[in-house]
Amino acid sequence: MDAGEIIAERKIQEAIEAGAFDNLPGKGKPLDLDESSYEDPSLRMAHRLLRANGFAPPWIEEAREIDRLRENLRMDLANARLAYAANPPRWQREFGELRRRADCLNRRILSYNLQSPAVRFQRIPFNLELELKA
């Protein structure tokens, strides 16, 4: 901790001991995390109504769809490995189809990543070869 943090911590502790935080409104109640201080107040009501009725911004809906497609592709890869392990020509055909689907998914992920509002929401491209080794 630097000197500023130490002083701030000491002041907070002194205020706690003096009872400065004892009568704050909302004490003992859970925080309302539905409200964001960063949200535009003029849009707050509209966003609340959309959330209450199961709607989400398009980039969130797209993220959900990408996650669903990724999981389906993983399951189909595992099923194809089990079903066609003893039949190399059939496995090659199935793997080609899975590769095509992975390429489509990765194009969609790239498009989504360009639209997402922050890096932390971005999705990692699907790596078929890596999934095959897992």
Residue with the larger pLDDT of the pair 32 and 18? 18
Is residue 53, in this structure, part of any structural domain at all? no
**Is position 6 within any domain?**
no
Would you say residue 4 lies in a domain?
no
Ramachandran angles phi, psi of 21, nearest 5°? -105, 5
- φ, ψ at 78 (rounded to 5°): -65, -45
Question: Quick one: pLDDT at residue 22?
Answer: 86
Structure tokens at 22: 């004892």
Q: Give the pLDDT score at 37.
A: 74
- pLDDT for the residue 75: 96
What is the span of the domain harbouring residue 72? Answer: 58-133
Of 26-30, 35-39, 120-124, the poorest mean pLDDT is in 35-39
Write down the pTM of the prediction: 0.64
Q: Is 66 within a domain?
A: yes
Structure-block tokens of residue 34: 């539905």
pLDDT-based confidence at residue 46 (cuts at 50, 70, 90): confident
Residue 112's pLDDT is 97
Pull the structure tokens for residue 1: 């901790």
Question: Does some domain include residue 18?
Answer: no
Inform me whether the pLDDT recorded for 56 exceeds 90.
no
Domain tally for the chain?
Answer: 1
Q: What is the pLDDT of residues 72-125, one digit of tens each?
A: 999 999 999 999 989 999 999 999 999 999 999 999 999 999 999 889 999 999
Assess if residue 95 is contained within a domain. yes
List of residues 6+ apart from 128 with CB closer than 8 A = 77, 98, 99, 102
Distance separating alpha carbons of residues 87 and 74, to the nearest angstrom: 20
- Higher per-residue pLDDT: 43 or 122: 122
Interatomic CA distance for residues 33 and 48, integer angstroms: 12
Give the model's pLDDT for residue 49.
85
pLDDT at site 95: 94
Which distant-in-sequence residues (6+ apart) come within 8 Å of 116 by Cβ?
Answer: 59, 63, 122
Contact 117, 59 (CB under 8 A): yes
Phi and psi of 34, rounded to 5°? -75, -20
| Residue 73 falls inside a structural domain | yes
Residue 77 lies in a domain: yes
Q: Where are the beta strands (DSSP E) in 35-107?
A: none
